[in-house]
Amino acid sequence: MKAVVYNESVALDAPEALTDTTLPDPEPAGHDLLVEVHAVSVNPVDTKIRGGVLPPPATPKVLGWDASGVVRAVGDKVTLFKPGDRVMYAGSLLRAGTNCELHLVDERIVGPMSTRLSFEEAAALPLTSLTAWELLFDRLQVREGRNPIATLLIIGGAGGVGSIMIQLARQLTGMTVVATASRQETRKCVHEVGAHHVIDHTRPMPEQLRDLGLDEVDYVASLTHTDKHLVAIAEMLAPQGKLGLIDDPVTLDVPILKPKSISLHWELMYTRSMYQTPDMIEQHNILVHVAELVDAGVLRTTLADHFGVINAANLRRAHALIESGKARGKIVLSGF
């Protein structure tokens, strides 16, 4: 099968950063689905692993943690899917990635594709939807239903996770949703997906909140540069408020949260698959719900750019855009 791999953790312009190759076709066993990959999307995790995780000697590593495709074969313990089913998923950090023609994935972290979506649109959804859902409902413990008193601030609202979280919070809860964006085009995107208010995270945020008539917020979902914004977050959060984050600050001055008894919650979408948790199948259930919401017109894909077929050259372009910090929505590639 065709695949795109990396052999060394080097700069993106180095020849060995991403290369086209051919690998043996994998065989499913147990709970595995063998998926013929039709489309993939590129996420910051791809660039972080490529730039910071050295593959084992003589073992090319396949990146990619978002895919849509068709089930071609199943393992002997599979009960949720059958050959011919169209699926979408985000994979596991412990297994080969999705930048290949044929991919093995555990059925318990796979969902059905919405009937309304193309493979490209579907590939843009799994990782961001799972991350946004788990952060909002599992970590911050927001309840679905109407609760007009609560206020949620999403720092980094124009990215893939932020765009999905705004939709989930706006459509499934009654919270007031405030999101941050700094450029005119990203501010427009954040408004379009449903944020009640948009503020600029490059300017003092507490002052902008007060200008909106909001003295404090009940929840903060910090999706980027949490260490840089932590002082402002502590000021904006109400006593006994909740802070959730997904980024990787080298240090975090958490004692600043103590006076208000602010709770801190970290979200990593891969935890359930990495540790084979008893509730691992919840990711399947979440993706089922996401597909239903798309079918009902409640949730929409955040596909922003299509970079052509899945090969090393196009993946380099996608990685470069993500590393620039200027990507909005999701970058998708399809076909080999």
pLDDT tens per residue across span 23-57? 999 999 999 999 999 999 999 899 988 887 766 66
DSSP output for 8-59: S---TTSTTSSEEEE-PPP---TTEEEEEEEEEEE-HHHHHHHHH-PPPTT-
pLDDT for the residue numbered 147: 62
Q: Total structural domains in the chain? A: 2
| Residue 133 to residue 267: CA distance in whole angstroms | 10
The model's pTM? 0.94
Is 12 a residue whose pLDDT tops 90? no
Boundary residue ending a domain (221, 242, 266):
266
- Which residues, including other chains, have CB under 8 Å from residue 301's CB and lie 6 or more apart? 117, 121, 122, 124, 125, 294, 330
Q: What value does the mean pLDDT of the chain take?
A: 94
pLDDT tens per residue across span 273-290? 999 999 999 999 999 999
Is 321 a residue whose pLDDT tops 70? yes
Contact 302, 163 (CB under 8 A): yes
Is 7 a residue whose pLDDT tops 90? no
Q: Are residues 180 and 282 in the same domain?
A: no
Boundary residue ending a domain (266, 288, 305):
266
pLDDT for the residue numbered 93: 93
Q: Are residues 19 and 107 in the same domain?
A: yes
- Tokens at residue 173, please? 């809860």
Q: Are residues 189 and 207 in the same domain?
A: yes
Q: Are residues 225 and 307 in the same domain?
A: no
Farthest CA pair distance, the chain: 60
Alpha-carbon distances of 54 from 17, 51, 58, rounded to whole Å:
11, 8, 11
pLDDT tens per residue across span 105-152? 999 999 999 999 999 999 999 999 999 999 999 999 999 887 668 999
Q: What value does the mean pLDDT take over residues 300-326?
A: 92
pLDDT for the residue numbered 325: 78
| Residue 47 to residue 41: CA distance in whole angstroms | 12
Q: What value does the mean pLDDT take over residues 241-247?
A: 97
Domain that holds residue 142: 128-266
DSSP output for 139-173: IS-PPSB--TT-EEEEETTTSHHHHHHHHHHHHHB
Whichever domain contains 238, its CATH number is: 3.40.50.720
- Which residues, including other chains, have CB under 8 Å from residue 255's CB and lie 6 or more apart? none
pLDDT for the residue numbered 58: 65
Q: Report which DSSP code applies to 332.
A: E
**Using alpha carbons only, what angle is made at residue 170 by residues 225 and 280, rounded to the nearest 5 degrees?**
70
